[in-house]
Structure 1
Amino acid sequence: MPDLKFEIISSEVKPFAAMPTLSFKLQITNTVEHEEVYAAALKCQVMIEAIKRTYNEEAKDKLYELFGEPMRWDETLKSFFWTIVNIPVPRFTGTTTVEVAIPCSEDQALAAGKYFHAVSDGHVPLAFLFSGTLFYKDINGNLQVSLIPWEKEATHKMPAYLWQEMMDIYFPDSRWLRVKKDTYDRLVTYKSKSVFPTLETAFESLVDKALQGVELTEKHSA
């Protein structure tokens, strides 16, 4: 029966994809020599191991919404779920390499989007947890099926800059923001009743006013 070992050997931005996508090369080795793996249907759960790195002051400020005050990070800073992807593995003997393609979103409603936006230096520690179904032939040539247990895993230190590089490639000098339809309609109304030529400039004016209010509140509280 095959005994599989998993290793992430590289990470990069996937070019020319339909949406922002990170590509990881997964090396799979069957430690049972000369035994053929007929096929495998893998399920991969990816975790962001946030606790396994340090953060500068800028990142700490941006991560407040996720983990709270840095003084409480001993309690609040934890690994968290990123995504699950399915990975088909073709027939191989010994070692093979397949792609783990992860479609990405900078949606600030998602924990992963908030985290990657906040972290721009060093590496992002990732854990890939594997399960699934393995197909192989026994010594008599009969097709056998077995399950891959969740304890099969691989870790990888992804360069943090890859996320920003990916977003710059797919959304040059811009970022994606999702709002409810009624919020969008109110922004359009605000623009139409003002002198702003675009929705972006109307939005900028609202943000500027809000930040001025925050600064005044902070001065009065000091």
Structure 2
Amino acid sequence: MPELNFTVLGAAPDAYTAAPTLNLALRIHQRGRPVPIQSVALQCQIRIETTRRHYAPAEQARLSDLFGEPSRWSQTLRSLLWTHATVVVPGFSGDCTEVNLPIPCSFDFNLAATKYFHGLEQGVVPLVLLYSGSVFYRDDDGALAMDLISWSEEARYALPVQVWKDLMDLYYPNQSWLCVNRQVFDALYEYKRRHGHPGFDEALLGLLADLKRAAS
């Protein structure tokens, strides 16, 4: 029965997908005597260990939308679920192999993980990867067998904040993604049309200026 462990070697944006995707380079290693692996259906839950890094004052201010005022962070700062990912690992016969684990990423600010990544200026994001799935292999008699990967299999990785920023700059250069319901969009579109703004950026700036004048 194969015993696998996992190490994250690095991370890089994937420039050739339809949506933002981050590739994590994984090394999969067989402990003990290696057996011929036919394939691995690998599943991974990725969590952000928010308490395992320091936050600059500017980062604390931006993250107050998630965790409240910094004075309360001893109670509110908790691990965040980022996403789930899957990959089928091709067969290998040695004691290790390497594969890219594609991580789907979102720039939707309704998601806690997006708010967290956007709130950071520099440094790293402490991640913990929890693995599960199925391993298909040949036993000592050459017969095809299957075993499950235990949820106790995990790995940690310090993802550079700049890698996430580079990914979003690649897919959304000088842009941010904002999702609103249709009623809000229709009202904004009507405001844009009525005031003759050429684009939605100008309409939003005009609306903010109107609110500032009304408040003064």
> Shorter-chain TM-score: what band?
over 0.9
Counterpart position of 1:84: 84
Matched letter for residue 85 of structure 1 = A
Q: Normalising by structure 2, report the TM-score.
A: 0.94
Counterpart CA distance in 2 for 1:128 and 1:158 is 12
Counterpart position of 2:142: 141
CA deviation after TM superposition for structure 1 residue 172, in Å: 1.2
1:21 and 2:18 aligned = no
Counterpart CA distance in 1 for 2:212 and 2:148 is 54
Asked if 2 retains the 8 angstrom alpha-carbon contact of 1:68 and 1:76, the reply is yes
For structure 1, the 5+ residue unaligned runs are 217-222
Counterparts in 2 of 1:81-160, with a 5 A limit? 81-92=81-92, 93-160=94-161
Counterpart position of 1:46: 46
Asked if 1 retains the 8 angstrom alpha-carbon contact of 2:2 and 2:34, the reply is no
Counterpart position of 1:201: 202
Counterpart position of 1:62: 62
For the aligned residue pairs, the C-alpha RMSD in angstroms reads 1.5
Counterpart CA distance in 1 for 2:67 and 2:33 is 46
Counterpart CA distance in 2 for 1:3 and 1:68 is 43
Counterpart CA distance in 1 for 2:211 and 2:146 is 60
Shift of the 141–21 alpha-carbon distance from structure 1 to 2, 3 Å rule, reads: same
Asked if 1 retains the 8 angstrom alpha-carbon contact of 2:41 and 2:87, the reply is yes
CA deviation after TM superposition for structure 1 residue 213, in Å: 7.1
For structure 2, the 5+ residue unaligned runs are none
Deviations 1:129-178 (A, max 9, x none): 00011111111111111111101011100110111111111111111111
Asked if 1 retains the 8 angstrom alpha-carbon contact of 2:85 and 2:104, the reply is no
